[in-house]
């Protein structure tokens, strides 16, 4: 797991995994055993049209606040096909529009239990210009992802890991030009895509959900969730992080993903606006 960035957090906190504790052998005791608190199970999502008589809409934007960090391009070495991929490749981790909108952020309802059916239509991830397009993808569990290669004359390789570390393999498959590699998403959560064919700058993320209430911000930083059943929910926010921390071999590693949340109330037939802000000092602030 990558170390968390030392940044100020205004109003919300970034999620991180708790450090493991050293193991201590159990000691015998004559005291009565303590009663462990009951675990809080995540809701099991069910398709239920009865809650959609007067659905609401949840929309908003993600905007950059403050000075923008420099994102230097990566040099393409001899093993990265510079004749076809170019001498340099841009950093895909932070895409900010001229008006400050931040693309490629993911927003979703984490505790919704009933509502509309997920759309299981196939989704395409292309390899074009020696980059994954789109860079961030969200889709439901059970949907098929079709990986294409539009880079004529280039052999790519799609190596997918669950999570952020390279210790939970999803699949690893060669991706020749003109052929499609199809994989069905079987697990909720985030997966990380890289290329092992010398294109070490290639990076993308796939987010999978058990429900249809998620969105990826567009080029202007906007998102929208429709057909939301009335109720109170936890709206989660994710951005991959943009600070280049280190190099593992020739591959860059970036700062941890930013994750925050806020509570939203959706009234019957109502529209709720929930905006988020990213910046160099405030990691993520809900306005």
What was the pLDDT predicted at 250?
A: 75
Place of tokens 């193991």: 23
Asked if residue 196 lies in contact with residue 189, where contact means CB atoms within 8 angstroms, the answer is no
Place of tokens 């999502």: 45
For residue 213, what pLDDT band results from cuts at 50, 70 and 90?
A: very high
Q: Is the pLDDT of residue 42 over 80?
A: no
Q: Is the pLDDT of residue 9 over 80?
A: no
Among 2-6, 59-63, 76-80, 166-170, name the one with the lowest average pLDDT.
2-6
What was the pLDDT predicted at 95?
A: 94
For residue 282, what pLDDT band results from cuts at 50, 70 and 90?
A: low
Asked if residue 51 lies in contact with residue 269, where contact means CB atoms within 8 angstroms, the answer is no
What was the pLDDT predicted at 249?
A: 67
Mean pLDDT throughout 208-229? 98
Q: Is the pLDDT of residue 3 over 70?
A: no
Q: Is the pLDDT of residue 150 over 90?
A: yes
Q: Is the pLDDT of residue 30 over 60?
A: no
Q: Strand, coil or helix: what is 51?
A: helix
Tell me how far apart the alpha carbons of residues 95 and 114 are, in angstroms, rounded to a whole number: 34
Place of tokens 């510079």: 82
Q: Is the pLDDT of residue 70 over 60?
A: yes
Tell me how far apart the alpha carbons of residues 115 and 213 are, in angstroms, rounded to a whole number: 9
Q: Is the pLDDT of residue 17 over 60?
A: no
What was the pLDDT predicted at 154?
A: 95
**Residue (of 20, 3, 10) closest to 256 by Cα position:** 3
Asked if residue 96 lies in contact with residue 262, where contact means CB atoms within 8 angstroms, the answer is no
For residue 251, what pLDDT band results from cuts at 50, 70 and 90?
A: confident
Q: Is the pLDDT of residue 245 over 80?
A: no
The contacts of residue 46 (CB under 8 Å, 6+ apart) are 113, 114
Percent of the chain with pLDDT over 70: 82
Q: Is the pLDDT of residue 20 over 80?
A: no
Side-chain half-sphere CA neighbours of 156 within 13 A: 33
Tell me how far apart the alpha carbons of residues 122 and 144 are, in angstroms, rounded to a whole number: 5
What was the pLDDT predicted at 25?
A: 38
Alpha-helical regions (H) of the chain:
82-85
What was the pLDDT predicted at 32?
A: 39
User: Structural domains in the chain?
Assistant: 52-286 (2.60.40.420)
């Amino acid at each position: 797991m990558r170390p968390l960035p030392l940044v100020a957090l205004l109003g919300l906190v970034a999620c991180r995994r708790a450090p493991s504790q050293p193991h201590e052998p159990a000691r015998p005791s004559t005291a009565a055993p303590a009663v462990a608190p009951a675990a809080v199970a995540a809701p099991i999502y069910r398709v239920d049209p009865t809650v959609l008589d007067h659905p609401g809409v949840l929309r908003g934007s993600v905007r950059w606040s403050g000075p923008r960090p420099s994102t230097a391009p990566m040099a393409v070495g001899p093993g990265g096909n510079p004749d076809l991929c170019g001498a340099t490749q841009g950093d895909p981790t932070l895409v900010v529009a001229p008006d400050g909108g931040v693309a490629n952020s993911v927003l979703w309802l984490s505790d919704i239990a009933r509502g509309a059916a997920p759309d299981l239509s196939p989704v395409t991830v292309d390899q074009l210009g020696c980059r994954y397009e789109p860079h961030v993808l969200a889709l439901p569990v059970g949907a098929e992802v079709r990986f294409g290669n539009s880079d004529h004359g280039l052999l790519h390789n799609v190596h997918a890991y669950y999570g952020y570390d390279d210790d939970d393999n999803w699949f690893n498959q060669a991706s020749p030009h003109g052929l499609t590699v199809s994989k069905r998403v079987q697990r909720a959560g985030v997966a990380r895509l890289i290329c092992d064919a010398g294109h070490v700058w290639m990076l993308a993320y796939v987010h999978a959900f058990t429900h249809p209430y998620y969105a990826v911000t567009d080029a202007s930083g906007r998102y929208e969730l429709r057909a939301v059943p009335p109720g109170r929910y936890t709206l989660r926010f994710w951005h991959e992080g943009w600070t280049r921390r280190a190099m593992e071999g020739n591959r860059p590693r970036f700062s941890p993903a930013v994750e925050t949340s806020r509570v939203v109330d959706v009234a019957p037939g109502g529209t709720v606006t929930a905006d988020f802000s990213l910046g160099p000092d405030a990691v993520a602030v809900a306005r």
